[in-house]
Amino acid sequence: MNVTVVGLDGAALPPGAAQALAGAQVVLGAPHQLAAVPVPAGATVFGPLELDQLPDASSAVVLASGDPGFFGIVRALRQRGVRPVVLPARSSVARAFALLRRSWDDVAVVSAHGRSLRPALNVCRAHPAVAVLTGPGAGALEILAGLAGWRRTVLVAEELGGPNERVRRFEGGPLRDPHVVLCLADEHAVPARGWIAGGEPVPPAAGWALEEAKFSHRDGMITKSEVRALALARLAPGPGRLVWDLGAGSGSVGVECARLGAAVVAVERDPAQCARLVANARAHRVDVRVIEGPAPAVLSGLPEPDAVFVGGGGPEVVRAAAQASPRVVVALTALERLAPCRAALREAGHQVEGVQLAASRFTELPDGSVRLEATNPVLLLWGRR
């Protein structure tokens, strides 16, 4: 079968599309797309979800919005063994940011169309500029609700390609299709000049498990880099994931998770430490949502985490973390807390492993030789459910 995929930009047709339509025996598209193009009188028409019903024919045209190779129908055709001719139009994301009069090479583009909204929402929580391709049950209203507590502006670019296309701040109410949701930390920001689309690379170029001097902290009260390295390996933070950092202190673990692309909620009861945490997040150019108060009391209503780090608190905090998340990492310095914390993880259905970390670092002596200086041992537990 000879299949041509035609991207539509309003009523405009890309070069070659009119000829493909004129010879088509089958045309597949949504009602508004079919109404916008010259469908041959004798052609059989199918809806957009009827790819599997597509009969054998000498020629078929599949209609799509914008660039059909960008989170579009080209993938579905290729999965069915069809190698179509693709005639793209401008993508909806490019058009949306053109309306906003803003460059978009720093923008993370995510799709919630036919997928869970949760990973896309976590990217919006973590990244300062995101475009979301929406779907039923995963639209502007759900995104707006999911960003409660995060400093974000939700915009919609609607009726794209039509005479009344526009970008506006979204605060609820009806939308005009087709539309794209834009989630911005600062809608007026001019992004820094970069070299890779989507912003900073993940993992960050400077690496991870940074030395303690890279963070403001109080009297050495910070998770040491060796412990942080293993904790990060077990937490597995990354784009689309949400991490809770409980008893966050100065926030070194939460900030590192955010540097690796995760959305982060940090809970800390000490106001002075909360201030340090905010400063550390700002210094490393990441967004960490800080909640001042004691865990587990303040955890109710927080979005569901993919992983939790417990850096402070007793078995009751570990129990709440284990019930909330399939992946938990606990750092302990007091031996008497090991058994109850391990039991709390096991009671919640976690398989538990652990290790004692006792690192000795090189320290240079006055004569230029090196001795080993021990850091305090730490017990690290992790549970997987």
pLDDT at residue 179, as a whole number: 85
Looking at residue 385, its pLDDT comes to 94
pLDDT tens column, 23-48: 999 999 989 889 989 999 989 898 87
Cα distances (angstroms) measured from residue 60 to each of 26, 51, 368: 5, 11, 77
Distance CA 200, CA 236 (A): 18
Through-space distance between the first and last CA atoms of the chain, rounded to whole angstroms:
48
Q: Which pLDDT score is estimated for 192?
A: 86
Fold of the domain built from segment(s) 212-384: Rossmann fold (3.40.50)
**CATH fold group of domain 93-184:** 3.30.950
Per-residue pLDDT, 1? 73
Q: Identify the pLDDT of residue 305.
A: 98
User: What CATH number belongs to 2-90?
Assistant: 3.40.1010.10
pLDDT at position 55 is 64
CA-based max dimension of the chain:
92
| pLDDT in the model for residue 56 | 66
Distance, CA of 138 to CA of 30 (rounded, Å): 19
Residue 265 CA to residue 149 CA, distance in Å, equals 10
Q: Are 277 and 288 in contact (CB under 8 A)?
A: yes
pLDDT at 160: 85
Phi-psi label, residue 86: left if phi above 0, alpha if psi -120 to 50, beta otherwise? beta
Distance CA 250, CA 183 (A): 28
Beta bridge mates, 356: 379
Low-confidence residues in the chain, pLDDT < 50 = none
What pLDDT, on a 0 to 100 scale, did the predictor assign at position 312?
82
Q: How far is CA 199 from CA 37, 122, 193, 247, in A?
A: 37, 16, 9, 30
Query: For the whole model, what pTM was predicted?
Result: 0.91
- Amino acid 57: pLDDT: 63
Residue 60: per-residue pLDDT = 92
Residue 25 contacts residue 44 (beta carbons within 8 Å):
yes
Domain boundaries, the chain: 2-90, 93-184, 212-384
Q: Say what the pLDDT of residue 302 is.
A: 97
Whole-number pLDDT of residue 199: 86
pLDDT (tens digit per residue) in 311-360? 988 899 999 999 999 999 999 999 999 999 999 999 999 999 999 999 99
Q: What are phi and psi of 77, to 5 degrees?
A: -70, -45
